[in-house]
C-alpha cells in the first residue's frame, strides 16, 4: 500500500502511530481466560481524519488473528504484518471527517520486543498485567500508538469470577453470570495508548483515601497476604495527594488506584489513574516510599500533561523525580537541596554524554535522565525563587491539563514567570551534555506538621 501524503513519523519509533488521523474514543470489549492465556477482543475506534483525505491509515497491533475489520460499517482491504495493521477503506475518508473503525481479534497475548526487553501484556503465574511504556500497548489492543494521540476509553473485561479486574478510570458496573464476571470501566480523560493500564489477579480492595481532605477516592488492590505491609507502606499516600494538589493543582482524574501484584517488578509502572507495584515494593518499612510519590506525581506530569513525542521524556521523569524530593522536604525528610546534592555527586562520577532535550531512544530510561531532569527543576527553583517557581509549576500542570507538551513549550512557559531570561539555565542543563555546577537554594519550604512522621504507624 502506498500513502497519499507525507507522514511525519515519530523520531524514536517510526513504526508506531499514524499522525494522519487522531482517535478521540476507544471502546474495548475483552474476554480473557488466564489458564490458557486466551484473549478475544473487539475494538471500536471513533476517529477524525487530518488535513488530507485518507486513502489508507495504520493501526498498531501485535500478532493476533484478525476476525474482521469494518470502516464506517464496510469491509476494507487490510494487511497485517510486523505489528502494523494497514487499512484501506472502500472509499477515501474526507479531510477532517469523522469515521469509525471496528476490529475483532483473538489469540494468546504476549509482550512485544523493545530496546529494554519485552513490554506490554505480561502473563503472570496467576493473572496478567499490562506495562506498556513506551510502545507496549499493541501487545493487547489495536491503537494509534503515539503519546500525542490521546483519547477517552470505555473498557469491558470478562474473566473468571475468581479474579478481579482493575483498569484506570471509574468502575461503572460489575456483572456476574455463571462463572464469569464482566467489569466495565470508563476513563473520560484524554489518555495516551501506553497509559491504558490493566491488571487481572486475586486482589482484596482497600480504601486509602476518600473525598475528605485530599478530595480524591484512592484504592489499593492487594494480595491478602501483603495487606499488613501495604497498610504501612502506603499509609502516607493520602498526605502525598494533599501536598501534590497544593503544589501542582487539582488531581487531574476522578480517582486513583494502586495495584500490588503477587510477583516482583523491576520498577513500578504508571498508568492513567493507576499505578502498578510489585510485591518487592512492599516491605512494611516504607522502603519504597519515594516510588509511591514518584508514581503519584506522574498523574500530573506524564499522564495529564503528556509528551508530544518521546524526545521530551525528561518532562515526565524529571518532574516526577523532583516531586520525590518535594515530598521528602515537606514531610520531614531530606530537603530538596540535600537530595539535589546527592544526585549531582552521582552524576559527576558518570559519563556526561546525555542531552536531556534529545537523549536518543536507547537512553530514554537512563537513570541519568531522571536525576538530571530533577536537577533542572531544582536549578529553576534556585534561579526563580520560591514563589515564582511554585506558581510556574502549578501553572504548567493547569494550562496543559489533558494536553501534550514539548521542551520548547516548557521554556516558553517558564519565561512567563521568571524575572529574568533563563536561557542560560536551559542551555546548560537541558541542551548541553556537560554537568553544570550545583545551584544553591535558600531556606527550604516549612515542614507540614499535619503529615505523620516517617516512623509513624499505618493508622
The 10s digit of each residue's pLDDT in 150-181 is 999 999 999 999 999 999 999 999 999 999 99
- Residue 453: pLDDT band with limits 50, 70, 90: very low
The closest of 450, 1, 41, 8 to 246, measured between CA atoms, is: 450
Q: How many residues does the chain have?
A: 459
- Residue 342: pLDDT band with limits 50, 70, 90: very high
Place of cell 512485544: 112
- Residue 9: pLDDT band with limits 50, 70, 90: confident
459 pLDDT above the threshold of 50: no
449 pLDDT above the threshold of 70: no
Cell of 91: 472509499
Secondary structure tally for the chain: helices H, strands E: 9, 21
17-21, 68-72, 113-117, 395-399: which range is least confident on average?
113-117
pLDDT at 321: 98
pLDDT at 441: 73
Strand partners, 199: 129, 166
pLDDT at 440: 83
Going from the C-alpha of 42 to that of each of 39, 101, 435, the distances in angstroms are: 10, 10, 50
1 pLDDT above the threshold of 50: no
pLDDT at 448: 45
- Quickly list DSSP for 386-410: HHHHHHHHHHHHHHTTTSEE-HHHH
214-218, 264-268, 342-346: which range is least confident on average?
214-218
pLDDT at 455: 35
- Residue 442: pLDDT band with limits 50, 70, 90: low
User: Residue 373: is it exposed, middle or buried by C-beta count within 10 angstroms (0-12/13-18/19+)?
Assistant: buried
- Percent of residues, the chain, with pLDDT higher than 70: 93
Mean pLDDT value across residues 301-308:
98
Q: What is the pTM of this model?
A: 0.93
pLDDT at 7: 43
Mean pLDDT value across residues 290-309:
98
Domains of the chain: 1-199 (2.60.40.1730), 203-299 (3.30.2010.30), 306-431 (1.10.390.10)
- 196-251 pLDDT per residue, tens: 999 999 999 999 966 555 689 999 999 999 999 999 999 999 999 999 999 999 99
Mean pLDDT value across residues 428-452:
73
pLDDT at 4: 36
Amino acid at each position: 500500500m502506498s500513502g497519499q501524503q507525507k507522514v511525519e513519523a515519530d523520531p524514536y519509533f517510526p513504526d508506531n502511530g499514524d499522525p494522519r488521523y487522531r482517535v478521540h474514543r476507544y471502546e474495548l470489549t475483552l474476554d480473557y481466560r488466564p489458564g490458557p492465556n486466551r484473549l478475544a477482543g473487539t475494538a471500536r475506534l471513533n476517529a477524525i481524519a487530518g488535513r488530507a483525505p485518507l486513502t489508507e491509515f495504520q493501526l498498531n497491533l501485535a500478532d493476533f488473528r484478525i476476525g474482521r475489520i469494518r470502516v464506517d460499517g464496510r469491509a476494507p482491504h487490510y494487511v497485517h504484518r510486523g505489528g502494523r495493521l494497514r487499512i484501506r477503506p472502500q472509499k477515501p475518508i474526507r479531510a477532517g471527517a469523522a469515521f469509525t473503525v471496528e476490529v475483532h481479534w483473538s489469540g494468546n497475548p504476549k509482550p512485544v520486543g523493545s530496546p529494554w526487553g519485552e513490554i506490554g501484556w505480561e502473563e503472570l503465574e496467576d493473572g496478567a498485567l499490562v506495562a506498556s511504556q513506551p510502545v507496549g500497548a499493541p501487545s493487547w489492543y489495536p491503537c494509534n500508538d503515539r503519546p500525542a494521540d490521546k483519547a477517552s476509553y470505555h473498557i469491558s473485561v470478562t474473566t473468571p469470577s475468581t479474579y478481579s479486574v482493575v483498569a484506570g478510570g471509574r468502575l461503572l458496573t460489575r456483572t456476574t453470570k455463571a462463572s464469569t464476571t464482566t467489569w466495565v470501566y470508563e476513563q473520560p480523560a484524554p489518555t495516551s495508548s501506553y497509559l491504558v493500564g490493566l491488571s487481572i489477579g486475586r486482589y482484596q480492595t482497600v480504601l486509602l483515601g476518600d473525598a475528605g481532605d485530599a478530595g480524591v477516592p484512592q484504592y489499593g488492590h492487594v494480595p491478602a497476604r501483603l495487606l499488613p505491609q501495604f497498610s504501612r507502606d502506603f499509609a502516607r499516600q493520602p498526605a502525598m495527594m494533599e501536598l501534590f494538589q497544593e503544589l501542582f493543582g487539582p488531581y487531574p482524574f476522578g480517582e486513583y488506584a494502586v495495584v500490588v501484584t503477587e510477583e516482583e517488578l523491576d520498577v513500578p509502572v504508571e498508568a492513567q489513574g493507576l499505578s502498578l507495584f510489585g510485591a518487592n515494593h512492599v516491605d512494611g518499612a516504607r522502603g519504597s516510599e519515594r516510588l509511591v510519590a514518584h508514581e503519584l506525581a506522574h498523574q500530573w506530569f506524564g499522564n495529564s500533561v503528556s509528551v508530544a513525542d518521546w524526545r521530551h521524556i525528561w518532562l515526565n521523569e524529571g518532574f516526577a523525580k523532583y516531586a520525590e524530593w518535594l515530598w521528602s522536604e515537606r514531610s520531614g525528610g531530606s530537603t530538596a537541596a540535600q537530595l539535589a546534592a546527592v544526585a549531582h555527586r552521582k552524576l559527576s562520577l558518570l559519563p556526561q554524554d546525555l542531552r536531556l532535550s534529545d537523549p536518543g531512544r536507547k537512553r530514554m530510561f537512563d537513570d541519568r535522565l531522571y536525576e538530571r531532569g530533577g536537577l533542572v527543576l531544582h536549578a529553576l527553583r534556585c534561579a526563580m525563587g520560591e514563589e515564582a517557581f511554585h506558581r510556574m509549576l502549578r501553572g504548567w500542570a493547569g494550562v496543559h491539563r489533558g494536553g501534550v507538551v514539548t521542551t520548547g513549550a516548557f521554556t516558553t512557559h517558564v519565561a512567563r514567570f521568571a524575572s529574568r531570561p533563563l536561557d542560560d539555565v536551559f542551555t546548560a542543563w537541558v541542551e548541553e551534555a556537560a554537568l553544570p555546577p550545583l545551584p544553591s537554594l535558600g531556606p527550604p519550604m516549612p515542614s507540614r506538621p499535619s503529615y505523620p512522621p516517617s516512623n509513624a504507624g499505618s493508622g
